Amino acid sequence: MTDGGPIDVYVAALRSALRGPGRVKRDLLAEARDGLLDAAEAYECDGLPRAEAERRAVADFGPVAEIAPGFQQELAVGQGRRTALLLFLSVPPMTLMWNLVWKIFPEPPSVMAAKPAWFGVLARVVDYSQLLTGVVGALALLALGRGLRRLHRPALITRSLGLLVWLGMPVLVAMCAALSFTRGTSDIMDELPGIALTIVSYAIWLWQLRSATLCLRFASPAALSAADRARSRSYA
């Protein structure tokens, strides 16, 4: 392949029009480049010069303005799968681990009796909301996998996952803070298991927020309209 040839220029233009997970984006661009190279080699075998063969291959592939939307949808779906998998694999196990810690290190009956009536209700709400988040992640993973062909707007699921995490996280943190404050200073939170699990929980929350942010970025209307911007640049 000639450096700076039509295929290089085309792939570079496609790269600048797309926003998505690095590995998925690289795979899509590599697949596009390989297809273009194969088509160019076929034209060369028919006797065309290399530059003209690459131009023919690019013309057959289609303008960036027409190809970018489909690629951007794939990138949005890829980020949605990552976030859904993260929610499914992290949220329910963390909930179960916290319940296990409290069973292994139970608080004295006198301490439990002194807690307000809403404490147990709020604790169950936290547990159920976390489990529900895991279920939502599993359903989204299924929809963006086997159910992808039936979806007309798969990027909407990715964007919804991002909103779910960003809207639900402050509520979750507030509820957990209320529970921790009510427990006081004489509980398992002062012991090594509680401290370690707290650190892991905060790390996972930050991971979820980062993944949710990427969902909103890669599946945003601005990202999905990259083809229009590419079209405008191509006609400038």
Task: List, for residues 97-134, the tens digit of each pLDDT value.
Answer: 888 877 776 666 655 666 788 888 888 899 899 989 99
In angstroms, the CA 36 to CA 2 distance is: 13
SS3 (DSSP) at 156: helix
pLDDT for 233 equals 44
Query: Given pLDDT bands bounded at 50, 70 and 90, which one contains residue 230?
Result: very low
pLDDT for 158 equals 95
For the ranges 27-31, 44-48, 188-192, the lowest mean pLDDT is seen at: 188-192
In angstroms, the CA 83 to CA 100 distance is: 26
User: By the 8 A CB rule, do 79 and 20 touch?
Assistant: yes
Q: CB within 8 A of 168, min separation 6: which ones?
A: 129, 133
Residues of the chain with pLDDT > 90, as a percent, come to 52
Residue 76 has pLDDT above 60, yes or no: yes
Query: Given pLDDT bands bounded at 50, 70 and 90, which one contains residue 185?
Result: very low
Closest of 56, 75, 79, 82 to residue 14, by C-alpha? 75
In the structure encoding, which two tokens stand for residue 12, read together? Answer: 């570079």
Give pTM, 2 decimals.
0.80
